[in-house]
Amino acid sequence: MSGLFPNPNLEASMMSISLNTSLVVFRIPFGFGSAVSMRVSNELGVERPRAAQIAIQVVIFLAITEGLLLSLLAVAV
């Protein structure tokens, strides 16, 4: 599709930049999810459901904060 635009090289490079940026944005919460799943399973294994709940709340807060900050950065740039 980018070959149909007046400057196909520019369009293809912009698409590559956009895809790489979106991969970075989604990789951080994926890492949070992987880490918290291990933490929650360990906390539940030693019968501490309150600590597991706190870990979940912390990672949700971090993921939302990261998403907002990166969205604001993308809009600013």
Token pair of 63 as six digits: 């993921």
pLDDT of residue 8: 67
- DSSP states of 39-66: HHHHHHHTT-HHHHHHHHHHHHHHHHHH
* Calculated CA dihedral for residues 23, 29, 35, 40, nearest 10 degrees: -150
pLDDT at 14: 75
Contact assessment for residue 38 and residue 56, using Cβ atoms and an 8 Å cutoff: no
pLDDT of residue 3: 63
Per-residue pLDDT of the chain (77 residues), as tens digits, is 666 667 766 667 777 777 888 887 788 888 888 999 999 999 999 999 999 999 999 999 998 998 899 889 888 97
